[in-house]
């Protein structure tokens, strides 16, 4: 389990730092050295603290070495079950098509999940061989955008839902988007090249499976969980 190994590595590095500082305090006869050393031994690096915070967000457990061991054991025993038990606070940041045809989903919390099939938001099976296969999610920022900002977006990468199908604005032949949202309702007007118009309550972000599956494997120094490195 990468998170477990990285935490242990950081803990070990911090212990060595404390050991080195403690040795220098003793060798230089610093006043109250023993008291300072005692306090140092109770400290944690900022990176350890950040990792512990991410652990608590993802698992719902208070961080402790015992709970970290429990989660590690759970992943070693049944990866799918353990991953499913994590809180739904993380999101997919990358997908990889494996040689055996399965797809590995990588989440920003650090967990990985291998699946055989992917479905879109309507429940339709997405084909790994279909270059037009899409993943769509509601663009939560669109409602606060003005018309200029909306029309600067790439119409290939945003769309609307029609008859339970997501279509990009480019596919629809859209030439402009107007935000008609007020404090009571969410509404957008899509002007088409043929002179007609469409209204919709939501604008969707679109990502294409073909592009998602082309990501490069992260190097060993890259973290798959959300990282907060405040060290200097």
Nearest to residue 50, comparing CAs of 229, 224, 231, 232? Answer: 229
**Tokens matching residue 55:** 């652990």
Nearest to residue 127, comparing CAs of 217, 213, 214? Answer: 213
Domain ranges, ordered by start, for the chain? 2-85, 88-118, 134-211
Eight-class DSSP state of 109: B
Per-residue pLDDT reduced to its tens digit, 39-85: 988 898 888 888 888 888 777 788 999 888 888 887 777 766 666 66
pLDDT at 31 > cutoff 70: yes
Residue 39's Cα: distance from chain center in Å? 36
Predicted structure pTM score: 0.41
Q: Tell me, letter by letter, the H, E, C secondary structure of 169-188.
A: HHHHCEEEEEECCCCCCCCE
């Amino acid at each position: 389990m990468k998170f477990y190994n990285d935490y242990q590595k950081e803990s070990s590095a911090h212990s060595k730092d404390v050991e080195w500082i403690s040795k220098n305090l003793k060798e230089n006869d610093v006043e109250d050295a023993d008291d300072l050393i005692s306090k140092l031994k109770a400290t944690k690096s900022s990176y350890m603290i950040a990792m512990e915070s991410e652990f608590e967000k993802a698992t719902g457990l208070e961080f402790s070495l015992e709970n970290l061991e429990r989660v590690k054991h759970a992943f070693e025993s049944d990866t799918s079950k353990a991953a499913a038990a994590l809180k739904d606070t993380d999101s997919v940041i990358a997908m990889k098509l494996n040689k055996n045809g399965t797809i590995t989903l990588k989440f920003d919390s650090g967990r990985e999940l291998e699946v055989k099939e992917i479905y879109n938001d309507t429940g339709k099976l997405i084909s790994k061989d279909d270059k037009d296969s899409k993943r769509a999610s509601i663009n939560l920022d669109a409602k606060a955008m003005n018309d200029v900002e909306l029309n600067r977006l790439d119409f290939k990468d945003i769309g609307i839902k029609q008859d339970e199908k997501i279509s990009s604005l480019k596919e629809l032949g859209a030439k402009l988007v107007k935000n008609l949202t007020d404090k009571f309702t969410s509404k957008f007007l899509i002007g088409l090249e043929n002179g007609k118009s469409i209204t919709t309550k939501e604008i969707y972000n679109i990502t294409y499976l073909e592009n998602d599956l082309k990501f490069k494997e992260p190097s060993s120094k890259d973290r798959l969980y959300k990282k907060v490195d405040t060290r200097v």
